[in-house]
Amino acid sequence: MLDALISGKLIKDTELKTSQNGKPYSNFLLSVGINEPENIVVSGIAFGVHAERIAKLSKGDALAVIGALKPTEWQDKATHEDRHGLSVTVADVLSVYDIKKRRKPTEPDGKPNHPPYGNPPPYDDELPI
């Protein structure tokens, strides 16, 4: 088992479920990689507050998780081929949803309070060189 930081996009919508002992959990699938046809699919499970945070996300949302990573094997039901993958048990979560919720606008209208890029203030060079 390895501790890892996994970052990717959700392949499908997440759903918050409740275990028999009343604790929330959520299963999810992340597409991780650079080249889309060769992306690695990582399955994950989160419990408690982490599950609740992940359950607020939808298909296509970016998600980064930290947790215990382990290799998995299964047989494809359609082709009966052996498949290999990775699964992660979440210890912590970072999502764009969390970042947007924490950020507050710098001004009431939500616009930044700095001059726009490409439009610098005029220079005031009165010093002789």
Location of structure tokens 């494809």: 76
Closest by CA position to 70, among listed 48, 53, 86: 86
Give pLDDT tens digits for 2-31: 899 999 999 999 999 999 999 999 999 999
Taking only Cα atoms into account, the Rg of the chain, rounded to an integer number of angstroms, comes to 22
pLDDT band of residue 84 (cuts 50, 70, 90) is confident
Q: Is the dihedral of CA 3, 86, 97, 47 positive or negative?
A: negative
Location of structure tokens 């930044």: 112
The helix (run of H) or strand (run of E) holding residue 90 is strand 82-95
Instruction: Please give the domain boundaries of the chain with CATH numbers for all domains.
Output: 2-102 (2.40.50.140)
Across 99-109, average pLDDT = 56
In this structure, of 20-24, 27-31, 81-85, 125-129, the range with the lowest mean pLDDT score is 125-129
> Higher model confidence: residue 123 or residue 90?
90
Round to the nearest angstrom and report the end-to-end CA distance of the chain: 65
- Predicted local distance difference test score (pLDDT) of residue 63: 93
